[in-house]
Amino acid sequence: MKIFLLSIFSLLLVSCNTSSENSSDELTTDISFTKEGELNIYKADSTSTSLDIEIAETDYETATGLMYRDAMETNQGMLFIFGSPSVHNFYMKNTEFPLDILYITADQKIATIAANAEPFSEESLSSQVPVQYVLEINGGLAEEWNLKVGDSVSWTNNE
């Protein structure tokens, strides 16, 4: 676990390092949403919500997430896929808009919701329990959609 956290921290340091050739202004203009799949959230009352998702699977994608972007559409989200269940901590450094962070177990059930995570905050937001997936959506949508712990998700990957 320590090695994993150190490698993520190292990637964060590398990804946050900018030079005159690659300023943070260039990063914001170059990053746009790329639909890589579709995700459905299923509620206990049999209703569902569909989203277009970007998928973060590599160390770089996981470390960068939605950093350096100024917005995301209501029907979009970013799904983080980890190799095995573990307690995961996210923060909002270099993220310009509020997010709801849904921590999802290996059996694809919502375990924890960090609602309206504050932009640019370096506060650690813990899953509190082992999870294998994390879904980031626009802040306030979890409440608007009445999402609860125990709701389930499924997705398809376009690749």
Query: What distances in angstroms separate CA 14 from CA 64, 94, 120, 158, one per listed residue?
Result: 10, 14, 18, 29
Domain total in the chain: 1
pLDDT the model gives residue 20: 34
The domain in which residue 24 lies consists of: 2-157
pLDDT tens per residue, the chain (159 residues)? 444 433 444 444 333 333 333 434 444 455 789 999 999 999 988 889 999 999 999 999 999 999 999 999 999 999 999 999 999 999 999 999 999 999 999 999 999 999 999 999 999 999 999 999 999 999 999 999 999 999 999 999 997
Specify the CATH number for the domain of residue 10: 2.60.120.1140
What is the pTM for the complete model shown? 0.81
Q: 10 Å Cβ neighbour count for 52?
A: 16
